[in-house]
Chains A and B, each alone.
Chain A
Amino acid sequence: MTSNTEQTTNSTNGHPLLDVKGLKKYFPIKKGFFKKTVGHVRAVDDVNFFIREGETLGLVGESGCGKTTTSRCILRAVDPTGGRVLYRAKSGATVDIAQLPASEMRRLRPEMQMIFQDPFASLNPRMNLFDIVSEPMFVNGIKSRSERADRVAELLQLVGLRPEYMQRFPHAFSGGQRQRIVIARALALKPRLVVADEPVSALDVSVQAQVLNLLLDLQEQLKLTYLFVAHDLSVVKHISTRVAVMYVGKIAEIAPTDALFNTPKHPYTAALMAAVPVADPRVRSKMIPLQGDVPSPANPPSGCYFHPRCPFAEAVCKQETPQLQEIEPNHFVACHRAKELELDGISAN
């Protein structure tokens, strides 16, 4: 047993830590001299999912499908256009982050942290390690320098960096080490929810595994809950308890990791899996490409957004938007034909 999936479901069969309902984020498209709004980019368009305490929800999808915008809405880095982001705070109260006044949001901030894709852009080159990692503590009222120094040393050790490095500047570190610094800073205020947006995408292959292992270890030690955003299915498979697949601003499918990869129920999920280049020259012929391009979220197709590329589309798919439904326990799919289709998963290789 000991699959990640079962452990966390058993230990935390309580309420979700985060419950996202009908989340929407539309960006206006402005044209002309008077900057008239001529339309909207529906970056996030009625997104629903929850994350249980202590688990990792992986969010996958192709570039521009709305992963980053979803994460930014959850942390209120942008104001959602609609929907609710229900968060169970440390105090026990459930609050709607989408509606929270700025002052209360500030109080909640330490509980939620973000790790970004680019470890080079997200560190100030003029600050040394001590300043970078201790800044959030200082901002949140831990003014004693020695207290902060102790905590920084502890955090650096936690992420596998030597405390002696405290006086060094970011340029002296490699990409993988910088991502460790970013993680140390994110952990400075003992968060409960960590949103990681493509945290290993910019790293070298030989150091990706180090950072993934680190994230798994930290989760175990600190009981962290992760929303892990990535476009790389292998990475997501590796780290997630459950996985949500996004397509043009909507959730296509959510399921426990093994169920999603072994028995995908949405044609888009199956197509994504078929497109993954398998690191084995003996399984070459299996790579079946999906035709066409991802539609623009400014001008999505009618009905099911996937219908122009879907090999199983029927008349109803052009007219009606499929809703996310639980077709097997814990397996949610937004497809009119989800129950009847037999799709190949990864194990079919």
Chain B
Amino acid sequence: MNNQQPLLSVRNLKTYFSLDEGQVKAVDGVSFDVNPGQVVGIVGESGCGKSVTIKSILRIIQKPGKIVDGQILFRHNGDSMLDLTQLNAQSEQMRQIRGAEIALIPQEPMAAFSPVHTIGNQIEEAILLHQPVSKQQARKIAIERLREVGVPSPERRIDSYSWELSGGLRQRAMIAMALSCNPKLLIADEPTTAIDVTTQAQVLNLLRDLQAQHDAAIIFITHDLGVIAQIADFVVVMYLGRVMETGPVDDIFHNPQHPYTKALLKSIPTVTSESGSRLPTIEGAIPHPFNRPAGCPFYPRCIEMMPGTCNTSTPSLQPVTDTQSASCFLYHKQTDDE
């Protein structure tokens, strides 16, 4: 496998929503790469654009949202790089890529399965859509996938409805469906947010094992830094529609560069912190998307903010160490302003 060339390369992606109240720049110049077999964790707080980024990659952004700029280069069929932004979202080619080459484990677990069909029917349908197999073979594959993700007695469970399953089993069934066509890229949008810690640990272990077996790349989205630390190889830190910092997971946690990453890591309570002590906080709140500040999106809350610089122009994402990149004027002068 060629690890030099990325499987997916998102370049300066901008996805905006035009509303009556104004324009929401949900994703505003996002860039990152995913290498084959790599687990990329995208971490950020609610509303920072994680889901819109991956919906853009899958080309499932609904009106009034629109990709207005940038490229999404995907290594299609293992060779040439195809720019997904240039495809018609409804085209046959995009449909094949969605599901067969890039599969999604969505954020809302209940929404993933229809309540009126059995999970087996839905997994089989996904297989039949993308693979030249008979109905019988599809059922066999579906049972195999369910077994692989640890659903007990899959021959019987395949005929259950999603609402008959416990949270943990539903999560597993969802992963089985996403894996049904052997995708090269699996996108998991907060797959463990709605479940308990003991189930979450099971699901994270499962994803790690599956990743190793299938050699699929994973984009794992979460706001939980603990989960990121446990699953990701490479981390993308987002804030207000932009990438603040990227780097290998160990560097992000042990040698963070961007003031937002540093502050975020200090502010989270951990099981080893002293009880009753006060945590360092990040002052203020995330601005409303209509009131986005000019300049660096983090400047109103940044303790290192440099007046006249940070509040007037927007830093671009640049390499700041051998392995990390950051969007911050403490390290460079490059801006993203036209």
Binding site for B on A (CB under 8 A): 2-5, 7, 62-63, 174-177, 204-210, 212-213, 216-217, 231, 233-235, 237-241, 257-258, 261, 271-282, 284, 287-291, 293-294, 346-347, 349
Is there contact, CB below 8 Å, between B196 and A277?
no
Is there contact, CB below 8 Å, between B223 and A281?
no
Q: Which of B235-278 contact A (CB under 8 A)?
A: 249-250, 253-254, 263-265, 267-278
B200 on interface, CB distance cutoff 8 Å: yes
Chain A: CB-nearest residue to B227? A277
Is there contact, CB below 8 Å, between A209 and B285?
no
| Total chain B interface residues with beta-carbon distance under 8 A | 51
B212 on interface, CB distance cutoff 8 Å: no
A117 → chain B closest CB, angstroms: 14
Cβ-Cβ contact count across A and B, 8 Å cutoff: 165
B282 on interface, CB distance cutoff 8 Å: yes
The interface stretch among B14-22, B23-31, B71-79, B201-209 is B201-209
B108 on interface, CB distance cutoff 8 Å: no
Is there contact, CB below 8 Å, between A216 and B278?
yes
| Centre residue among B167, B204, B271, B288 by max chain A CB count within 10 A | B271
Do A278 and B270 contact each other (CB < 8 Å), given the known contacts A213-B279, A289-B202? yes
B253 → chain A closest CB, angstroms: 6
A30 → chain B closest CB, angstroms: 19
Nearest first, the 3 A-B pairs at minimum CB distance are A4-B276, A277-B226, A289-B201
Is there contact, CB below 8 Å, between A235 and B269?
yes
B230 on interface, CB distance cutoff 8 Å: yes
CA distance A274 to B230 in the complex (A): 13
Partner of B271, one of A237, A288, A291, A294: A237
Is there contact, CB below 8 Å, between B279 and A212?
yes
Q: Which residues of A contact B274 (CB under 8 A)?
A: 3
B161 → chain A closest CB, angstroms: 17
B321 on interface, CB distance cutoff 8 Å: no
Do A234 and B273 contact each other (CB < 8 Å), given the known contacts A277-B229, A281-B249? yes
Do A287 and B230 contact each other (CB < 8 Å), given the known contacts A4-B276, A206-B263, A273-B271? yes
Is there contact, CB below 8 Å, between A62 and B268?
no
* Cβ contacts B166-205/A at 8 Å (1 or 0 each): 1111000000000000000000000000011111111011
Can you list 17 A-B contacts (CB < 8 A)? Answer: A2-B276, A4-B275, A62-B197, A63-B167, A174-B285, A176-B285, A212-B269, A237-B270, A272-B198, A277-B204, A277-B227, A278-B229, A278-B271, A279-B229, A287-B201, A287-B204, A346-B271
Q: Which residues of B contact A5 (CB under 8 A)?
A: 275-276
B320 on interface, CB distance cutoff 8 Å: no
B153 on interface, CB distance cutoff 8 Å: no
Chain B: CB-nearest residue to A210? B281
Is there contact, CB below 8 Å, between A238 and B198?
no
Is there contact, CB below 8 Å, between B276 and A237?
no
B126 on interface, CB distance cutoff 8 Å: no
Chain A: CB-nearest residue to B270? A234
Is there contact, CB below 8 Å, between A234 and B268?
yes
Q: Which residues of B contact A274 (CB under 8 A)?
A: 201
CA distance A175 to B45 in the complex (A): 12
Is there contact, CB below 8 Å, between B166 and A293?
yes
A2 → chain B closest CB, angstroms: 8
Q: Which of B106-152 contact A (CB under 8 A)?
A: none
A258 → chain B closest CB, angstroms: 7
B286 on interface, CB distance cutoff 8 Å: yes
Is there contact, CB below 8 Å, between A204 and B46?
yes
Is there contact, CB below 8 Å, between B200 and A275?
yes
Q: Which residues of A contact B202 (CB under 8 A)?
A: 289-291
Is there contact, CB below 8 Å, between B285 and A213?
no
Partner of A238, one of B167, B205, B273: B273
Q: Which residues of A contact B254 (CB under 8 A)?
A: 282
CA distance A241 to B275 in the complex (A): 7
Is there contact, CB below 8 Å, between A257 and B275?
yes
